[in-house]
Structure 1
Amino acid sequence: MTQKGIRGFATGLFVATSIMTFFYFYESNSQAEYEYENEELEITNADIEQYLQQQDLVVLPANEHDELLQAIEEFQQGDHTREDEPDSERIFIYQTYLTIERGMSSSEVANELEKANIINDQHEFQNYLHEHNLTQSINIGEYQLNSEMSFEEIATIIS
């Protein structure tokens, strides 16, 4: 066989392989598309519920979704007041963890409580402690206190 003959034979093999490859991939894709188009999928409500539970998703009606989006937008814009709740009726409750360390005086404790908005006047609290002989009874520790507590409740907790 001559050199031209070998080249021709190799070229023929290459062309034939290319054509076969093209039809192989084209036919397999079109066959899969044909099967997918003709396949009827039956999805039941149970399937949908199962999927939602697995994905930890919740379905909302469109109007509830819109209301939530509006509430989020108002919150992000800084409008934290609710329309049905006038400002005069709002009550803020402050909560703090007060740490009393060795060597802290009752005036320092009262000052910390006033800074945390737990009490309104540190001098009134100091007077309460003094009148009830509790200025020396304050214990070291960490205490959870809130602004709804009375002087008596706070004193009972920290002493």
Structure 2
Amino acid sequence: MTSKNLRGFSAGIILSTGILAGIYYTADTDTESVLTDESVSQYLSEKGELAISKEEYNTLKTQTAAVPATATEKPKTEPVKEKEEEKVFQMTLTITQGMSTGEVCDLLKKGNIIKDSGEFLKFLRSNNLEGAVRAESHQVNSKMSFEEIAEEITSS
């Protein structure tokens, strides 16, 4: 960059700064809205809200504090639910050549065989089984542990 170009660039920056400063200081900024009781009550009615005085608030606060906590709680009458049998999901997992281990984990998650594909992928990686997954069909179900699923999909 030559010195003439640099001077021209600097002059442009100074000129644009001057124009922006002139606009900033001459702009009409007296458009402050005045907050009135009418505008507040209109806003509250539009939002479906209610305004109360400090005195009303304090009386409500003391009344609420005076009521014992046990009186405000509803008695629990819900019957105790017996533990439902967990539904067992089964699927035939078909692994094709070229599928990544992450894709296999996602298929297991979609089939409700595992709850977290990331955890299963970490398990495979930590046991050096990520590259041992075999491209074929495997029978798996949701009762199987990570170890059992890994043994199924890595054995031939």
Coarse TM-score class (shorter-chain normalised): 0.3 to 0.5
Structure with greater helix percent: 1
Point out the structure with max Rg over C-alpha. Answer: 1
TM-score w.r.t. structure 2 length?
Answer: 0.46
Q: TM-score, normalised by structure 1?
A: 0.45
